Structure 1
């Protein structure tokens, strides 16, 4: 008998946006695992800090962030998966804490690839930052036959331009230092007035404003929602 690995989506950040299934698994956890970025405190753990049982083992997967070099992060996932595998092989379930949804830009997918061939795995979906931002901004994402596209801002400018032109509605994630590039692309297409900036959706520091009023420097937990507005219900 081996333990089961649970990839648990925790939602966008507000603790009361956890699903009931996620909350139950966290409250009953025997072992938890979660990523950190370059030694910083874990945002995922902070979401469920009040639910975690005291004294249980915590597997911290520290991910070095090096632009263009994935090898250090992959090595960290290898090491984290080995530690999780030891717990699973001993018959203990492991709850892996995942911001947002485990399979939408989630770090859990890298652990899943390493462990699913050997151990039972269950995925608990979470509210995504995209849907949370749309709800906070009271802005529909797409209607009827509109094409909705999720774009990571670090993509090359040419690829971003192609996707923006081809889509009816967009969520542009991972803004950070790419904010000026995204702003310029949208402005060149006359889309600034149709774009909404959302920062830290559902958290106490949440900020929502038209793109024209958004800062030039954006945090990682921010996005731009664009709805071109072809549907007549608008």
Structure 2
């Protein structure tokens, strides 16, 4: 650094895990506890889930930047929201202050942080702190491994059309369907058509006190919450859904 040059802050994308505050990594805990500024996604009018996870570790007086996102069916949030958030965060970074961005799950697995990273990495130092993903948490809740040896595990977004879903499912030894929500009836019908309904496990709100763990065939509701997942194993191991988990 040259004489007179101002050192800029570091942007941290910190994975929080699926919801249980005890599943934070030691590094995530340290960064949150020492943060002077945190930022986090928050749906308009709804408390931020990311902040709720980290709440036990946020010190009084910490500056907060909520990134409010409208909940819409189409792709969201709008480009302008990330542009504005990146600009607000960049002011802190330019002043030499680190900013910790709280990320549900893992920052780079369907995480909103990747859009801030895309906008800011060219101008500021960035560090990614991985988090426990909901995929791992749901497998643990079901008591069944995800995959073994050379088996192919596929992560599939539930909003895909049936034809795409079926193609991904038939090509994989094991698969996870995320973002189930309102797509539950048709996903369930497709798995029944493919003869896989009996092998499907269902988890919603993994690691939280209100977690639901069920065989998909036994799940009675017509819709699922956003934080829900279906896991199916088709490989060669004789793994079944662990009865004590259900």
TM value normalised by structure 1 = 0.97
Is the contact between residue 39 and residue 66 of structure 2 (CA under 8 Å) also seen in structure 1? Answer: yes
Hey, what does 2:54 align to over in structure 1?
48
For the residue of structure 2 that corresponds to 1:48, the secondary structure is helix
Matches within 5 A, 1:144-159: 144-159=149-164
Please state how far the C-alpha of 1:40 moved relative to its aligned partner. 1.0
RMSD (Å), alpha carbons: 1.2
Please state how far the C-alpha of 1:50 moved relative to its aligned partner. 1.3
Please state how far the C-alpha of 1:69 moved relative to its aligned partner. 5.0
Hey, what does 2:3 align to over in structure 1?
none
2:4 corresponds to 1:29 = no
Please state how far the C-alpha of 1:145 moved relative to its aligned partner. 1.4
For the residue of structure 2 that corresponds to 1:49, the secondary structure is helix
For the residue of structure 2 that corresponds to 1:225, the secondary structure is strand
Residues 163-207 of structure 1, C-alpha deviations (whole Å, 9 max, x = no match)? 011111011000110001110110001101100000111000011
Hey, what does 1:208 align to over in structure 2?
213
Please state how far the C-alpha of 1:39 moved relative to its aligned partner. 2.8
Gaps of 5+ in 1: none
Gaps of 5+ in 2: 1-6, 241-246
Please state how far the C-alpha of 1:56 moved relative to its aligned partner. 1.8
Hey, what does 2:9 align to over in structure 1?
3
Distance 2:136 2:75 in 1: 31
Hey, what does 1:189 align to over in structure 2?
194
Distance change (3 Å), C-alpha of 1:196 and 1:148: same
Is the contact between residue 65 and residue 73 of structure 1 (CA under 8 Å) also seen in structure 2? Answer: no
Is the contact between residue 67 and residue 81 of structure 2 (CA under 8 Å) also seen in structure 1? Answer: yes
2:64 corresponds to 1:58 = yes
For the residue of structure 1 that corresponds to 2:232, the secondary structure is strand
Hey, what does 1:177 align to over in structure 2?
182
2:166 corresponds to 1:161 = yes
Greater C-alpha Rg: 2
- Misfit runs of 4+, over 4 Å: none
Distance 1:69 1:9 in 2: 22
Hey, what does 1:223 align to over in structure 2?
229
Distance 2:49 2:29 in 1: 16
Distance 2:200 2:121 in 1: 40
Please state how far the C-alpha of 1:229 moved relative to its aligned partner. 3.5
